Chain A
Amino acid sequence: MKPRYSIFSLARNAMNYHKDWERAWRSPAPKKEYDAVIVGAGGHGLATAYYLAKNHKMTNIAVVEKGWLGGGNTGRNTTIIRSNYLQDPSIAIYELARSLYEDLSQDLNYNVMFSPRGVLMLCQTQHEFRAFQRTAHANRLAGLDCRMVTPAEVKEIVPIINDDPNCRYPILGAYYQPRGGTGRHDAVAWGYARGADAMGVDIIQNCEVTGIQREGGKVVGLETTKGVIKTKKIGVVTAGNVSTVMDMAGVRMPIESQCLQALVSEPIKPVIDCVVMANTVHGYMSQSDKGELVIGGGTDPYNNYSQRGSFPALEHTVAALVETFPIISRLRMLRLWGGIVDMTGDRSPIISKTPVDGLFVNCGWGTGGFKAIPGSGWVFADTIANDRPHPIAEPFGLNRFQEGRLIDESVAAAVAH
C-alpha cells in the first residue's frame, strides 16, 4: 500500500527537501498473461482499470499505452464538467460521472481540483433559447439541478459578457448548471493511475498494440511492441485511434477521427468565475487557476490523425469569443494544441461488447469525453467484469446503429461539449 498524501506527509517530506517522495506509479515490464488488458491509458482507460480493481476485485490486469499516460485527449481538452444533456441515457451516464467527480479527490487521495463553478450555456437565437428550454424541462424531470437564467442574471454571473441587445447574436438568456464546472485534467489521469497501480494494476507505457489474437471468435491475446500478452478480455479505449485498433480484430466502427483544437491565453487576473459556452457562435471559455483563459471551439470538418488542426477553425472560435467577450480582444495566446476525437453519427459514445468474444470497446466520446471519465470507467469496468452491459451502458451499445435506437445529442448539444 502506498503512503497516503496528506498535510502530514507534506510536512514530513519538507524535512527532506522533498527528495524522498515515492513514485506515483511503477513502470513494470508486461507479464505473460493477465485476466484483462485495457488498451489506452487515458482517463477512460485508467478509470476502467481503477474500478475493475476496486469494485470488481480484478487486480491481475494491465493497461497498455502507446505513448505516455494521459498524453492524448485527456491532456488536450478544456476540462469542462457538466451533465445537462437532452436524452435520458446521456443524462444518466454524464450525471453519474459528475456526481463521482464530487468526491473523486477523497476517493483517489489525489487532488483532481474539481471546481463546481457553474456552466452557463448561452442562448443567442430564439431557436437556441427554445431548444435549451426543452433540455431544461428534460433535465428537471431527470432530477438535475439546472435552470434557465435571464439576460440580467447572465450579466451578473459574467460581468465581462457583451450584453448589447443590438449585436449580431444578442444574449437572450442562458441555461445554467451551477454544479457543473471544471477539473484538473492531468490530475484525473494521474490520480486514477496512482490508485490503480496501488491495487496492483500494471500500467505499461510506450507499448503499442500491433495485433489482436483471436481463436474461434474469441480473443486470446494482444501483440504489442513489448511482446505478446495473453488475455481473454480486452477493453479498447483508444479514442481517435479506435478504428485502427478495432480493425486488428476485424470489427468496423461507426467512427470518424477529426481534430479538435484548444488554446490558452497569457495569464491575467480573475475575470470569469464560471464556464461559458456559446454554441451558436462555436466557442467556449473558462479561466484556469493560473489565470489563463482556456478556449475551445468546433472540430475541423475532415478526418485527421495528425493532432494538428487548421487555422480557419481557430480563427472562427476566437472571432466568436471576441464578439462575446470584447475585453479579450487584445490578449495574446500562449499555447495551442489539437486532439484527435472519435466522432459517431449521433454524437453519443459507444460502450459495448463486440461480435468478438472477450473484446469490449469504449469510444465515440467525440468532443466531450473528459466530463464523463469517472462514469464511463465505472460502467465499462462493470461491463467487462460481468461480460454483459451495465444498465447505464446498455443504450450505448454498437447495435443501436442497426436497430435505429440512436441517442441523438448532435442537435441537442449543438457543437460544443
Chain B
Amino acid sequence: MLVVKCPVCGAEGDETDFHAGGQAHVRRPATTDPAHVTDEEQSNYLFIRINPKGLHFERWRCDRGCGKWFHAARDTVTMEFKAFYGITELPPADVIAQAKGQWAEYFANRLTSENKA
C-alpha cells in the first residue's frame, strides 16, 4: 500500500485516495512551436515513456482532497516516495541528483535550457 501526501492541501492517504497519472514532465511540443513539430517529436510526446527501474518521476492527483494535480518522485523497485512537489515545479535538487539514465539526461537538458532563458 502506497502512502501519498498531497503537497497542495497536505492531505495524506493511501493510493485509493489518489489517482496515478503516469510519467511527469512530458512536454507537448506543439504548445511552444506548433508549426515545426516533427512526426518523431509528436510520437515521442504521445507514446515514448521513460520507464526506469529505480527512481521515477510521475504525476498524481489528489482525488479525495483538493482535486489538484501534483508531482511525485518514487522508486519503482522499493516503491518508496522520495518527494512530493508542485505541478509547475521541478523536483528538489537532492532528488534530481539521485536521478539516473534518461531522467538524469532530461533534468540536465531542462536546467541548461532554463538557465539560458
Contacts and interface: CB of A to CB of B under 8 A. Distances in A.
A306 B54 CA distance: 10
A247 B102 contact: yes
Contact of A257 (B2, B44, B76): B76
A401 B58 contact: no
A128 interface: no
B32 interface: no
A118 to B, nearest CB: 35
Which among B19, B40, B51, B79 has the greatest number of chain A C-beta atoms within 10 A? B51
B51 A243 contact: yes
B49 A311 contact: no
A413 to B, nearest CB: 18
B67 interface: no
A244 B51 CA distance: 8
Contacts of A306: 76-79
Interface in B1-29: 1-2, 14-16, 19-20, 22-23
A403 B23 CA distance: 23
Which among A244, A253, A401 has the greatest number of chain B C-beta atoms within 10 A? A401
Interface stretch (A37-45, A87-95, A296-304, A375-383): A296-304
A254 B58 contact: no
B16 A241 contact: no
Interface string A327-360: 0000000000000000011000000000000000
Contacts of A302: 2, 15, 20, 58, 74
A18 interface: no
A284 B2 CA distance: 25
A111 to B, nearest CB: 36
Contact of B48 (A244, A254, A311): A254
Contact of B15 (A244, A255, A310): A310
A5 interface: no
B65 interface: no
A244 B40 CA distance: 21
Nearest to B40: A402
A247 B101 contact: yes
A254 B15 contact: no
Contact of A312 (B14, B19, B46): B14
The majority secondary structure among interface residues of chain A is mixed
B77 A312 contact: no
B43 A305 contact: no
Contacts of A202: none
Size category, B interface: 20 to 34
B86 interface: no
Nearest to A247: B101
A310 B2 contact: yes
A255 B52 CA distance: 10
A177 B113 CA distance: 55
B23 to A, nearest CB: 8
A310 to B, nearest CB: 6
Contacts of B71: none
Given A256-B49, A401-B47, A402-B43, A312 B76 contact: no
Nearest to A244: B53
A305 B53 contact: yes
13 contacts: A243-B52, A247-B101, A252-B44, A303-B58, A303-B76, A305-B76, A305-B77, A310-B2, A312-B14, A312-B15, A401-B47, A402-B40, A402-B43
Interface of B: 1-2, 14-16, 19-20, 22-23, 39-40, 43-44, 46-54, 56, 58, 74, 76-79, 101-102
Given A252-B48, A345-B47, 16 more contacts: A243-B52, A247-B101, A252-B44, A255-B49, A256-B51, A257-B53, A301-B19, A301-B20, A302-B2, A305-B53, A311-B1, A345-B46, A402-B39, A402-B40, A402-B43, A403-B39
